[in-house]
């Protein structure tokens, strides 16, 4: 009987895992729509690129603030409430985008509907929730769910490019919105299931051979939380610059815009690989902090390369390697939260970190458009992004050193 019950629990966990991946994959399309349509929207209204770049930034900023509330809902009420709100707002927000006539409408849609009430229900709640379904393999589970962002980036940019070329950006937004409603809302019924009860926190084993033995004084929850929040800003400023502007950057280098969409797809396909396989392997073997250090180092190195590369094949190659670096960064944070902070507060704590990450994404995306308007180039923006990324590395390395002798269960 116990074996039968265990099989049912594993089956339910697998279904929730797949539903979480698909929910994130579909909802993340809202990010890549404005990336692909950035120049078309700006040209139609004769806006500087700062306007659609700011809308992109507001989506991340709104998602960050909304993520705290959605994390609280997850901790108190489960994933059902965030899932139904998010599925509705992503779909309705995309539909509303197809009717905009002013920049303030665009800002409201992306800041409130697609940001505060839409994207806030995706990465942070979904990854925090899945760690409760896979207590013994949470690194792998978070990596699989987190790969939805990369897979979305592999699928949506070329789809949006083809649709925009055929029917225009307004009709494309309308089609995406309807598709989101009819896919995300049914998935929300699956995600509303309650996870198994949390296992008791492991006690400290004083044995010298114990994997859970503590040989260093643990850092306070507040110090770890603040450090991770500040670190997430640095990595996400660097991350958002090419994500928001690589399509336009490739076009500005003199290549067809379709090549820019392809470069973005390659970047995000590699990010999905890093998230799906890399987070599970590195997180399991080394823990979340060291895995984050590895991924963030790769991101900084390749962003520096993108600032100076102009040859198209080299851009493809650098973008692929950049994707392998950045793809594992955000999924590491929920793993670190479960390793270092109270499990019962995982939702809101992950939400706080993702608020700062969203703030970093907002700064980076806005900064790229602002620097371009000043210099007619993205090179300086990419270099500034590298500097922010180095700040992230310093903080994470410091946390690793302070907790260097402490072993965490993964």
To the nearest whole number, what is the mean pLDDT of the chain? 83
User: Which among 241, 248, 179, 237 is positioned nearest to 37, based on CA atoms?
Assistant: 248
User: Which among 192, 130, 116, 161 is positioned nearest to 355, based on CA atoms?
Assistant: 116
Burial of 212 (0-12, 13-18, 19+ CB in 10 A): middle
More confident residue, 158 or 408: 158
User: In the predicted model, is pLDDT for residue 298 greater than 80?
Assistant: yes
SS3 at position 42:
helix
The verdict on residue 94 lying in a domain is yes
The verdict on residue 18 lying in a domain is yes
The conformation of residue 341, written as its DSSP 8-state character, comes to S
> Model confidence over 226-246: pLDDT tens digits?
999 999 999 999 998 888 888
Max Cα distance, the chain (Å)? 69
Is-contact 298 321, C-beta < 8 A?
yes
Task: Give this prediction's pTM.
Answer: 0.72
Q: What is the pLDDT of residue 275?
A: 83
The verdict on residue 207 lying in a domain is no
Cα distance between residue 113 and residue 121, in whole Å: 11
Task: Please give the average per-residue pLDDT across 132-145, as a whole number.
Answer: 82
The verdict on residue 393 lying in a domain is yes
Counting DSSP H helices and E strands in the chain, the numbers are 16, 0
User: Which among 63, 79, 52, 278 is positioned nearest to 173, based on CA atoms?
Assistant: 52
User: In the predicted model, is pLDDT for residue 158 greater than 50?
Assistant: yes
More confident residue, 302 or 149: 302
180 band by pLDDT with thresholds 50, 70 and 90: very high
Strand partners, 214: 406
Cα distance between residue 396 and residue 137, in whole Å: 23
**How far from each other are the two terminal CA atoms of the chain, in whole angstroms?**
28
For residue 294, the enclosing domain spans: 8-195+216-402
Q: What is the pLDDT of residue 133?
A: 85
Cα distance between residue 371 and residue 365, in whole Å: 10
> Can you read off the two tokens belonging to residue 65?
């603030």
Backbone angles phi, psi at 184, to 5 degrees: -75, -35
Backbone angles phi, psi at 248, to 5 degrees: -70, -35
Q: What is the pLDDT of residue 213?
A: 34
More confident residue, 389 or 68: 389
Q: What is the pLDDT of residue 61?
A: 79
The verdict on residue 237 lying in a domain is yes
> Can you read off the two tokens belonging to residue 49?
């690129």
Helices 29-45, 2-27: inter-axial angle, 10-degree rounding: 10
The number of CA neighbours under 13 Å toward the Cβ of 89 is 26
SS3 at position 406:
strand
* 3-state helix/strand/coil string of 342-405: CHHHHHHHHHHHHHHHHHHHHHHHHHHHHHHHHHCCCHHHHHHHHHHHHHHHHHHHHHHHHCCC
The verdict on residue 250 lying in a domain is yes
CB count within 10 Å of CB 76 equals 10
346 band by pLDDT with thresholds 50, 70 and 90: confident
CATH number for the domain that contains residue 60: 1.20.1250.20
Locate tokens 């197809």: which residue? 98
The verdict on residue 342 lying in a domain is yes
> Can you read off the two tokens belonging to residue 289?
């902090």
404 band by pLDDT with thresholds 50, 70 and 90: low
The verdict on residue 206 lying in a domain is no
User: Which among 360, 354, 349 is positioned nearest to 66, based on CA atoms?
Assistant: 354
User: In the predicted model, is pLDDT for residue 393 greater than 90?
Assistant: yes
Task: Please give the average per-residue pLDDT across 114-136, as a whole number.
Answer: 86
Report the number of distinct structural domains present in the chain.
Answer: 1
């Amino acid at each position: 009987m116990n074996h039968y019950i265990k099989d049912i629990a594993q089956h339910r966990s697998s279904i929730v895992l797949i539903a979480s991946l698909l929910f994130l994959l579909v909802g993340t399309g809202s990010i890549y729509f404005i990336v692909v349509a950035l120049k078309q929207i700006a040209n139609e209204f004769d806006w500087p690129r700062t306007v659609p770049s700011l809308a992109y930034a507001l989506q991340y900023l709104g998602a960050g603030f909304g993520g705290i509330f959605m994390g609280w809902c997850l901790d108190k009420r489960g994933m059902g409430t965030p899932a139904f709100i998010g599925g509705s707002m992503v779909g309705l927000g995309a539909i509303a985008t197809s009717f905009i006539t002013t920049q303030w409408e665009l800002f409201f849609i992306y800041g409130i509907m697609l940001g505060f009430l839409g994207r806030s229900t995706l990465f942070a709640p979904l990854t925090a929730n899945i760690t409760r379904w896979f207590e013994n393999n949470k690194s792998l589970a978070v990596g699989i769910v987190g790969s939805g962002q990369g897979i979305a980036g592999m699928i949506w940019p070329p789809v949006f490019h083809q649709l925009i070329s055929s029917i225009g950006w307004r009709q494309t937004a309308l089609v995406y919105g309807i598709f989101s409603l009819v896919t995300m809302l049914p998935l929300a019924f699956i995600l509303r299931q309650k996870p198994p009860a949390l296992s008791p926190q492991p006690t400290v084993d004083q044995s010298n051979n114990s994997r859970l033995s503590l040989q260093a004084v643990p850092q306070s929850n507040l110090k770890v939380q603040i450090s991770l929040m500040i670190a997430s800003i640095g990595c996400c400023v660097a991350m958002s610059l090419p994500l928001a502007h690589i399509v336009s950057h490739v076009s500005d280098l003199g290549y067809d815009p379709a090549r820019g969409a392809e470069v973005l797809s390659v970047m995000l396909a590699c990010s999905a690989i890093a998230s799906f396989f890399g987070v599970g392997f590195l997180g399991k073997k080394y823990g979340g902090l060291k895995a984050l250090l590895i991924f963030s180092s790769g991101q900084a190195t390749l962003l520096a390369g993108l600032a100076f590369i102009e040859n198209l094949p080299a851009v493809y190659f650098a973008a692929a390697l950049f994707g392998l670096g950045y793809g594992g960064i955000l999924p590491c944070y929920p793993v670190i939260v479960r390793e270092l902070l109270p499990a019962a507060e995982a939702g809101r704590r992950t939400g706080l970190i993702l608020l700062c990450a969203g703030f970093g994404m907002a700064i980076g995306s806005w900064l790229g458009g602002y620097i371009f308007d000043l210099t007619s180039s993205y090179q300086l923006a990419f270099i500034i992004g590298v500097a922010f990324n180095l700040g992230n590395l310093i903080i994470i390395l410091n946390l690793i050193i302070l907790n260097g002798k402490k072993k965490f269960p993964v």
